[in-house]
Amino acid sequence: MDVEPFTLDLARPLSTARGELEHREGFLVRIQYADAVGVGEASPLPGWTESLDACREALEWAPELAEDEDWGVALGETNAPAARHALSLALGDARAQRANKPLYRSLGNDRLVRRVPVNATVGDGAVEETADRAAAAVDAGFDCVKIKVGARSVDDDVERLRAVRDAIGPEVALRADANGAWSREAAERAFDQLAALDLEYVEQPLPADDIPDLSGLRDDGVAVALDESLSSRSVTDVLAAEAADYLVLKPMALGGPDRARMAARQARQAGVTPVISTTIDSVVARTAAVHVAAAIPEIPACGLATAEWLAEDLGPDPAPVADGQIEVPQHKGLGVELAE
């Protein structure tokens, strides 16, 4: 196994639970598995995964355990999610290569999937600016638009969303993402006003740990999607609490493509719709997330159109976005060619 650190500058600062990031740091992992070499990525994100140092330690320890036992044991004993993501992805890439099939088919989908729908994300802005950017996304072919809310008053955000709905029409799916910014009272007030706008869902309307209140919000006429809550609660616990209509699953935060695919199955069995997203990763993990989405039948629009967040990348993008869909690589394995 080979581990190589990397740092990538962001095109613009990224707001996280721990403040703003201006670059992404992580590790490329290559694992020799039989006659194939698989590649994985560990990109820790504050508030979601282990620290960079803890990730490094986990990656140093895993091959020792694999040598003493095997890679299955090493995966089972690796509790750091970003590190486990890299190991699981590298092994999955190598196994898919040996099976001469793309990664998504190795994850359990035997049908051909060429494209996956993705949403456009519109950040915080004034009413006219938000509506114009949403309309531009629809003109570019997106059938689903997600609007960032929570930085302004509820009334201001409702006005922004109403303007967006007027600009994009009734046929385009509209989502809002509050990133846990609202109180229960504010969320109830927002939901009362948003019910008429036919939103697909509001993502993380309350702080991550407010699971009981999130369960209560589901009766207020607007569907609830949970994202940040999965950084502190297991998928099993969130589903048992009946706190969500949608789960936004990030393979990096969950510990690998295999765990994300398993979480999607759990969600579907519980009547909850899975959506796949990234943690603003390099081309390696981002492409892996595309494969996870392609492995899930009838997946709705996913948060995978994130390449533009990076000012630079580790290699060319094999999964470009066009007309609101992202291309699924059909090469054997992951399908990523890294720059020399």
Tokens of 216: 């209560």
User: What is d(CA 2, CA 161) in angstroms, rounded to the nearest whole number?
Assistant: 48
Q: Exposed, middle or buried by CB within 10 Å (0-12, 13-18, 19+), for 145?
A: buried
Catalytic residue among 101, 146, 148, 332: 148
Is 250 labeled as catalytic in the residue annotation? yes
User: What is d(CA 134, CA 131) in angstroms, rounded to the nearest whole number?
Assistant: 5
> Is 227 one of the annotated binding-site residues?
yes
- Residue reference for tokens 């007027």: 166
Q: What is the CA 125 to chain-centroid distance, rounded? A: 23
> Is 203 one of the annotated binding-site residues?
yes
For residue 325, what are the contacts with CB-CB under 8 A and spacing of at least 6?
Answer: 115, 116, 117, 118, 141
Nearest to 168 by CA among 197, 210, 207: 197
> Is 213 one of the annotated binding-site residues?
no
Is 148 labeled as catalytic in the residue annotation? yes
Q: Compute the CA torsion angle 61, 64, 70, 73 (nearest 10 deg).
A: -30
Catalytic residue among 101, 146, 250, 332: 250
Q: Compute the CA torsion angle 186, 189, 191, 194 (nearest 10 deg).
A: -120
Numbered residues of the known binding site for Mg(2+): 177, 203, 227
Numbered residues of the known binding site: 177, 203, 227
> Active-site residues: which are they?
148, 250
